[in-house]
Amino acid sequence: MILATSVIAQSKSSLVQRINEIKGQSEIYYWDQYTHPDADTAKINAIKRVLMEVNIGRSEDRCLTVDDIMPYAKYINIDRGNLKQYFVYVKKDEASVIKASPMNSSADGTSMDETPVVTLQSVKPFVPDAFVQRIMETEDFTNVYKLLKSLQSQGKILQFGKLRDVEDYSTLDLILFDIQSQKIVTMLSPVTVSGMRTNVVNGMEDSLDNYPTKMTAVIWYIKK
C-alpha cells in the first residue's frame, strides 16, 4: 500500500510538472483548466475556456465551436479526491489553421467553409501572480496553513481563518481545498461589482457556488 501510494504521488507530481511546463510556453499553447465533481463537466468547461481565447481575432461567422477544436485538444486529468481537474491545451499553430464548421451556404451556392480563415492574434495567457503561485505550489491544507502562519508573522498576511469564523466573506480572498484529499482546488478573489469572483489561478470569472460545500474546505485570508 505504501509503495502504491508513493507511485501515485510521483505520477501526480510529474503531471503537475508537465502542466507548469505548458503554462510557461505561452507562445506555443492556448491552455486552461476546470475542476468539478463530474469528469465530463470538468473536461467540457476546460475546453470552452480555451475556446474563448482561441476565438479572439476571428470574425463572428468564423468562430470555432467545441466540436471544431476538440480533435486538436490534449488533456491532462488529475484526480483531487472527490473532484476531477481537467487541464486542456491546444497548440497555437494548429488552432490558427482550423476552419469553422460551415453553417450555411452563400447565395451563390459557395460553402462558407471556403472563406479564408482570419489569422488569430497572439494573446498573452493569464499568469497568476507570485503569491498565488506560491500558495498553489504548497498544494495541501496543512502546508498552506503553515505558510500563511509564517507569512502572518512576517507581516505579509494580516489575517486568515475558516469561513465559519466570519459572517460576511464577500470581501475576502479564498483558498479552496478538496475535503477528501486535502489538496488545493483553486483560489478566488473577493466578490467583484458584477457579483462574481475572479479565479486568480486562471483569470476567469468564477463563484464559490461552483464548488459544492460538502466537498470543499475554505481558508480566507487578507493580504497586507
pLDDT digit string, tens, across residues 152-189: 999 989 999 988 888 888 899 999 999 888 899 999 99
Cα–Cα distance between 30 and 121 in angstroms, integer? 12
pLDDT band, very low/low/confident/very high, at 35 (cuts 50, 70, 90): confident
Give the span between the Cα atoms of 20 and 18, in whole angstroms.
5
The cell numbers describing 93, all together, are 499553430
pLDDT score for 124: 58
Q: Which residues of 140-168 are buried (b: 16+ CB within 10 A; e: fewer)?
A: ebeebeeebeebbeeeebeebeeeeeeee
Q: Which amino acid is at 172?
A: L
For residue 217, pLDDT beyond 60: yes
Q: Are 58 and 64 in contact (CB under 8 A)?
A: yes
Mean pLDDT value of segment 195-223? 88
**Separation between Cα atoms, residue 218 and residue 185, nearest integer Å:** 10
Query: 90 and 77 in contact (C-beta within 8 Å)?
Result: no
Do residues 222 and 160 lie in contact, with contact meaning Cβ atoms separated by under 8 Å? yes
Q: What percent of the chain has pLDDT over 70?
A: 84
Across 21-25, 26-30, 58-62, 111-115, least confident range = 111-115
Q: How confident is the model at residue 107 (pLDDT cuts 50, 70, 90)?
A: very low
Q: Looking at the chain, how many residues does it have? A: 224
Percent of the chain past pLDDT 90, that is, above it, reads 23
The CA radius of gyration of the chain, in Å to the nearest whole number, is 20
**What per-residue confidence (pLDDT) applies to 176?**
93
Please say whether the beta carbons of 221 and 215 come within 8 A.
no
Confidence band of 11 (pLDDT split at 50, 70, 90): low
Nearest to 97 by CA among 75, 71, 77: 71
What DSSP element (H or E) covers 47? helix 39-54
Contact 135, 143 (CB under 8 A): no
Better-scored residue on pLDDT, 114 or 31: 31
16, amino acid identity: V
Mean pLDDT of 67-78: 87
Would the pLDDT of 26 be above 90?
Answer: no
Contacts of 102 (CB under 8 A, 6+ apart): 111, 112, 113
Strands 83-91 and 205-206, sheet pairing: unpaired
